Amino acid sequence: MINFINNIVLSVPERKIYSRLGHNRHLTEMSDSQRKKIDTAIAQGIALCQLRGAWGRFEINKWSEESVEFGDGNVFESAKLAKLLKGCKSLALFAVTAGSDIVEEASASAAQGDGVKALAYDAAGSEMVDAAAEWIQQYLNQQFKRNKETLTKMRFSPGYGGLGLKSQAIFFKLLDIEKLGVKLTEDFLMIPEKTVTAIAGIQNIN
């Protein structure tokens, strides 16, 4: 069963947005007017994010040290992912996006010469979509705990640890990600770019 959420509401990861912009809490000094301008741009960026997500649970049929077969004959080939999923009977696939407005507005701001907005929007989009992925993990954990199950602490995404970008196609097929307004290019890139897909194992608590 695939689940969708159209509006993920979460606590704004303000500290992380600042860190992404290079802020060093011990060294960086800002005047009130600088802080106000940056805070305003970040707040506008956050308002432009429309966090949506999809997830599904799939049984693992076959496990080896190099690959994992799950659901209806789908295979992820990655030794590192296989290691993460060792001992799990199922896995969760999920996808989150911050939508296209934030990406388009960041580009438009850069084109208009407003670098502060462009930077703030970009950082806000990246951190918000990351926080949304964490939200889904938290949500799933709450759902699973009644069955004495939990997600692996780590999640894994295509493009990392030897898991090729080609595997994005599996996410699009199984999670119907286009319903979130996300498209996959021929090179397996997701548009809008502030989109994350991930895999986590489902393990028993014992």
Q: Which of residues 50, 61, 67, 74 is near other proteins by CB under 8 A?
A: 50
Residue 132 as a binder of other proteins (CB under 8 A): the answer is no
Residue 16 as a binder of other proteins (CB under 8 A): the answer is no
Q: Which of residues 12, 37, 74, 134 is near other proteins by CB under 8 A?
A: 37
Residue 38 as a binder of other proteins (CB under 8 A): the answer is yes
**Closest separation between CB of residue 62 and other proteins, Å?**
19
Residue 169 as a binder of other proteins (CB under 8 A): the answer is no
Q: Which of residues 12, 16, 23, 74 is near other proteins by CB under 8 A?
A: 23
The length of the chain is 206
- Encode burial over 64-102: b for 16+ CB neighbours within 10 A, e otherwise: eeeebebbeebebbbeebbebbeebebbbbbbbbbbbbb
Residue count, binding to other proteins (CB under 8 A): 60
Instruction: Please name the helix (run of DSSP H) or strand (run of DSSP E) that holds residue 94, with its range, or none.
Output: strand 90-97
Residue 87 as a binder of other proteins (CB under 8 A): the answer is no
Complex with other proteins: residue 64 or 166, whichever CB lies closer: 166
For residue 60, the SS3 value is: strand
Short-list 115, 113, 122, CA closest to 48? 122
Short-list 58, 91, 53, 21, CA closest to 195? 53
Separation of alpha carbons 76 and 68, rounded Å: 5
Residue 10 as a binder of other proteins (CB under 8 A): the answer is yes
Where helices occur in 67-204 by DSSP H, the ranges are: 79-84, 100-111, 115-144, 168-175
Separation of alpha carbons 149 and 162, rounded Å: 27
Complex with other proteins: residue 64 or 86, whichever CB lies closer: 86
Residue 40 as a binder of other proteins (CB under 8 A): the answer is no
Please give the C-alpha separations between residue 160 and each of 97, 125, 197, in angstroms, as whole numbers: 18, 20, 11
CB atoms within 10 A of CB 134: 14
Residue 204 as a binder of other proteins (CB under 8 A): the answer is yes
Site string for other proteins, 184-203 (x = CB under 8 A): -x-x-x-x-x----------
| Binding site residues, other proteins, CB under 8 A | 1, 3-11, 18, 21-24, 27-31, 33-34, 37-38, 41, 47, 50, 106-107, 110-111, 113-116, 118-120, 122, 135, 138-139, 142-143, 145-149, 159, 165, 179, 185, 187, 189, 191, 193, 204-206
